[in-house]
């Protein structure tokens, strides 16, 4: 039963292409009842989402958790801002990096952990330039070709 609870719900694969991910942190999410039920159904999208600083809190913006179909009129708003649950020291460090160094807070992966709680991996990120993206794509292509050659030869 424990294996069915845990697992990745949504992944932001675009983040690794667009940003240099520096400091990855696990955070909790402040959710309503219908949101956690929709997540346990395995439906969510964090591809266009980001985390923003509001006062002394960090909030997940534009994450799409579709309505839970059995919830009728008590359903949640799909793209509402959701507060991230972090320790004060982690929040202060991230706020400082965003304000001082111009970093961005990017969600990387949304999952349910072993104890059944919704967690999100967020990362402090620095934007890549176009030549960095080309370099990453060339490296990925070379690794793929190298694996293909090794498979053919041995």
Q: What is the tens place of the pLDDT at every residue in 27-48?
A: 999 988 888 888 888 889 999 9
DSSP string over 42-95: T--B-TT-EEEEETTEEEEES-B-PPPTT-GGGPPPTT--EEEE--HHHHHHHH
What are the residues whose beta carbons fall under 8 Å from the beta carbon of 118, sequence distance 6 or more? 9, 28, 29, 31, 36, 39, 110, 111, 112
Rounded CA-CA distance 49/10 in Å is: 11
Q: For position 1, what pLDDT does the model report?
A: 32
Phi, psi of 143 (to 5 degrees): -60, -40
Number of Cβ atoms within 10 Å of the Cβ of 16: 16
Q: For position 2, what pLDDT does the model report?
A: 38
Q: What is the tens place of the pLDDT at every residue in 87-146?
A: 999 999 999 999 998 889 999 999 999 998 999 999 999 988 888 889 888 999 999 999
3-class SS at 103?
Answer: coil
Q: What is the tens place of the pLDDT at every residue in 44-76?
A: 999 999 999 999 999 999 999 998 888 778 788
Number of Cβ atoms within 10 Å of the Cβ of 146: 10
DSSP tag of 115: T
Q: What is the pTM of this model?
A: 0.78
Q: For position 6, what pLDDT does the model report?
A: 64
Beta bridge pairs of residue 119:
28, 111
| C-alpha neighbours within 13 Å on the C-beta side of residue 6 | 6
Beta bridge pairs of residue 23:
124
């Amino acid at each position: 039963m424990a294996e069915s609870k845990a697992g990745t719900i949504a992944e932001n694969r675009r983040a690794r292409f667009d940003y240099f991910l520096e400091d990855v942190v696990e955070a909790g999410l402040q959710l309503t009842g219908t949101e956690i039920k929709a997540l346990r159904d395995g439906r969510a999208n964090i591809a266009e989402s980001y985390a923003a600083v509001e006062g002394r809190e960090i909030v997940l913006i534009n994450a799409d958790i579709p309505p839970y179909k059995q919830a009728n009129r008590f359903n949640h708003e799909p793209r509402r801002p959701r507060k991230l649950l972090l320790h004060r020291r982690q929040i202060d460090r991230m706020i400082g990096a965003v304000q001082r160094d111009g970093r961005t807070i990017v969600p990387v992966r949304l999952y349910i952990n072993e104890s059944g709680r919704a967690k999100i991996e967020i990362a402090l990120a620095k934007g890549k330039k176009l030549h960095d993206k080309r370099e990453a794509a060339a490296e990925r292509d070379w690794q793929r070709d190298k694996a293909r050659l090794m498979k053919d030869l041995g």
